[in-house]
Structure 1
Amino acid sequence: RGEWRLGLSDILLNIYIVVNKSINTLQYKSHHELNR
């Protein structure tokens, strides 16, 4: 169970990073559009 839990947290961490990058990209794009 310990290994499974570690794997799950790794997956969640990866998802969190990907979502964060997506949000940052969207915010940057929308901010860029507004400044134009």
Structure 2
Amino acid sequence: MKAYFIAILTLFTCIATVVRAQQMSELENRIDSLLNGKK
């Protein structure tokens, strides 16, 4: 039962990391577009 819980926790952490990475890349793209728009 404990191994099952750890497996779910690991999977959840991986998904959260991927989602966070996608949000950061979107944020960077917005900042880049804003900076390019000001030039």
Aligned CA RMSD, in angstroms, stands at 0.5
Instruction: List gaps (5 residues or longer) in structure 1.
Output: none
Instruction: List gaps (5 residues or longer) in structure 2.
Output: none
Aligned-pair identity (%): 11
* Greater C-alpha Rg: 2
Partner Cα separation in structure 1 for residue 35 and residue 4 of structure 2: 46
Which residue identity lines up with residue 30 of structure 1 in the other structure? R
For residue 6 of structure 1, report the CA deviation from its aligned partner: 0.2
Partner Cα separation in structure 1 for residue 5 and residue 31 of structure 2: 38
Which residue identity lines up with residue 23 of structure 2 in the other structure? I
Moved over 2 A (4+): none
Which residue identity lines up with residue 34 of structure 1 in the other structure? L
How many residue pairs match? The answer is: 36
